[in-house]
Chain A
Amino acid sequence: MKISFHPLKTVLSLRSGLPTREMKKGAGATDLVHVRVLSPASIFAGRVVRVDTPLVALPREVVARHALKEGNVVVSARGEFVAGLVDVNPAQLSGGVPLLSGPLCHTLSVERKDDEDVSPLFIAWLLGTEYARRHMEGASRGSAISLYNLDTVGSLMVPQLSIATQLAIAEASVAARILRETRLALAETENESNNAEICRLAGIHA
């Protein structure tokens, strides 16, 4: 079976995160909204996890431009290349306030293009693979710190698969991640129980 490939930028929309200057400039705005700004540090194992950064007040129009939505994929714009899916309502991740993609991120919005359905779960999985990481390393700019601009990210070739296959792949990747986490939890709990018993034997009490 021959699989065709398309550049990522043709199957979804790419947008840079909130520029630093937008966070600094007043520009006379008085209609402000409290938000939290996402950095790649909040991307873990292919997901955007809880964001505890301080609240920032920003003009409403800036928030409207950069607010994340469920189903968006966020990738890092510099440093280690990571990608994470916003798999819940972003307000749940940020304590009830809008969550914005920060200056160190790019946002990928999965939209219907060329009459093809694309699963955000599939894209998030693809961007977390060694294949994507190598592509980004090869196409990135910068010597000390790798910089991934929108062109670099958008030039990744995406296999054109049926939506059912995409969802099955995504399901397998999520299941593998959950298995990894549960096995880690089991190992940690076993270690803790073991230590507790040994301590009791050794008579270690405060």
Chain B
Amino acid sequence: MSNSYVSGSIPTREVVAYQLSGHLESVDRKLVAALYAVDALWYSEGVKKEKDRTILFPAILGGVSPIRFLVHGAASGKDMPEDTSTKGRQLFTNFVSLNLEAMGFGGDLKFSPRDMAKARLPLALFLELERLARPDRMFEEDRRLPADIMGVILNNGRGAVDEEVHRPGVELAELLAKLCPLPAGSGVLDLSCGTGTLLAKLLTDKENIHAFGQEKDAELAIISWLRLQLHPAADSAHVQVGDPIKYSYALSAKSRSIDLVLLHSLDLITDEERIVSVQQHLREMEENEQRASRTRVELERRHDSVREQLGSVTAQLVAAERHFGASANDSRMLTSDATIKFRKELEQVMHAKEEERRDLQQQIAASERMFIDASRARKAAYERSKKPEDRTSELIGHGLSCVNESGLVIAVVLARNLFKSPQVDRIRSQAVEHGRLDLVVELPRGVDGADERVAVLVFRKGRKKDEPILFVDATDHEAVNRVARPATTEPVFGYRRARSAVLTTEFFAAVSKICLDRVAVSGVAALVHNSVFAEVDGRQVDLRPRQFLISDRLEEPAADHQARLAQCHQAVVSAEAALLKARTKLGLAPLFTPTSSSKPSRQPGN
């Protein structure tokens, strides 16, 4: 057994992860992680002083650490697990409200805790946390440990928070970390930081990094802020809540130099959701327009009818006037009550009809306006549905505007962005016009739980336009692993492997090695010049790595094919001989006529 795997060399983080695994299954991990972080910050107040910050703690603690405070209540028998959960939540809420200014959560975005009335926090969990990972001891052992332990609480084993919110897995985070060397003093911004896992991974083995994060979910943003506060490599840590474009770091990019922007899980499902919602909106707008049109037609019909009635009443009145004029000498007629009444009635009807006509005219005008508005909205919705918002390229553009003149933008996107218009056109324009696209890696299906293939795009500002772009096709895990283990002799023929057996640390290490070496590898990576993207026969070349590798294989010399065929042929001959010999030993007759041991007569390529 290799020494590097025996006990003692296993990191404390993993020992704690193993010990806590049984306790974290049915608790609110976010709350436990937040409480542990507050506890660690409470201890760290006496340990560190290089970070420029003022953190306030709720007065209710009364001089004891937050977890000890909860343990006291539970151990004295006063608090049941539900009460401990409520107290813990209150403690966390108070802590957040006291430190909102330090966290920088401005604007109209306020933190409101989730309803966790039935949540439980058992005493055993806190006792175990204190026994295994009390922050003061962790700080003494290694300054990075409390942030690591927070990561363990959040993401160890089944029910990991990062899995729920589509944040990068450990392996992909390591790959991304390897792609971006960060010298001391650099600034890094994660536009969808989640629980801060990716930022924490990037900060590993780094020093004096200025970490920035943005996150839509207020609770995750707070957890991410706490995690960065605990990380010794983070010289400063700022997290903003809200949409990355609306609440933009780009606005203050000059004062806060950012060397690296990360875009992960660019709303892996939201793009789809947005298209569906735009189409739904279009359907609603069409219905509104039809409704308005129907109402207008109905009102016009009624208006015509009232006008006809009014015309008829007016005609009756004129006829009556004429009749009264003709018989003016007849005093009986003039004084007749019936005549006066009839005339008054006609006048009243005429007035009523006139009013009704005016009302209808007003309603028609209103409905006309409504129809015009609905029609306009329908047209706008139609335009939007034709061109669904492309947030991926928008965010990439936004990331590029955030970084400094030699900064990197690393984007994890769905692989369809590599070939699907109009997304690919925008990414290609970054490659062709601005010369910023540096690396494209297509990963297999299943990375980070995405049903589709995922790609990593790296953009670098300030690179020369004529530098080749590295395209890596990592969808064939066997080809990638062969790069890592060229001497492997294990025959692998046509059997499927589970995703867990494909997306291993070794696989991602091999991918990162290929990316960092920046050399063409047969069947896996190719260096491609910008000129390839020129329009050919009216067809634009897309960004899928595979197309640049296929030519490699097609142009494989015929001699290589011949050699491989001969090798396989010889292997079959030997295997047949071995089987015949084994059967002879058992006294069995030959199953087949042995293949001739001569080389195949046909010469490939001839």
Interface residues, chain A, CB within 8 Å of chain B? 24-26, 28-35, 39, 41-42, 44, 49-55, 57-58, 60, 91, 95-98, 165, 168-169, 171-172, 174-176, 178-179, 181-186, 188-190, 192-193, 196-197, 199-200, 204-206
Contact = CB atoms under 8 A, between A and B. Distances in A.
Given A176-B579, A186-B569, A52 B502 contact: yes
Contacts of B556: 196
B202 to A, nearest CB: 21
B572 A54 contact: no
Interface string B563-606: 01100110110111011011101101000000000000000110
A181 B501 contact: no
Nearest to B547: A206
B371 to A, nearest CB: 53
A193 B5 contact: no
Contacts of B494: 184, 188
A182 B505 CA distance: 30
A165 B502 CA distance: 39
Contacts of B568: 182, 185-186, 189
B565 A50 contact: no
Contact of B22 (A24, A91, A168, A190): A24
Contacts of B110: none
Interface string B350-366: 00000000000000000
B522 interface: no
Interface of B: 1-2, 5-7, 10, 14-15, 17-23, 128, 490-495, 497-498, 500-502, 504-507, 547-551, 553-556, 561, 564-565, 568-569, 571-572, 574-576, 578-579, 581-583, 585-586, 588, 604-605
Contact of A181 (B20, B491, B504, B581): B491
A144 to B, nearest CB: 20
Most buried by B among A32, A42, A95, A192: A32
Nearest to B586: A168
23 contacts: A26-B19, A26-B22, A33-B6, A49-B490, A97-B2, A168-B585, A174-B582, A175-B581, A181-B491, A181-B493, A181-B575, A182-B568, A182-B575, A184-B493, A186-B568, A186-B569, A188-B493, A189-B565, A189-B568, A193-B565, A193-B604, A205-B554, A206-B548
Contacts of B495: 44
A39 B494 CA distance: 19
Contacts of A25: 22
Given A29-B18, A42-B501, 19 more contacts: A26-B23, A32-B15, A41-B497, A52-B502, A53-B501, A53-B504, A57-B15, A58-B18, A97-B1, A168-B585, A178-B579, A181-B491, A185-B571, A189-B564, A193-B561, A196-B604, A205-B554, A206-B547, A206-B550
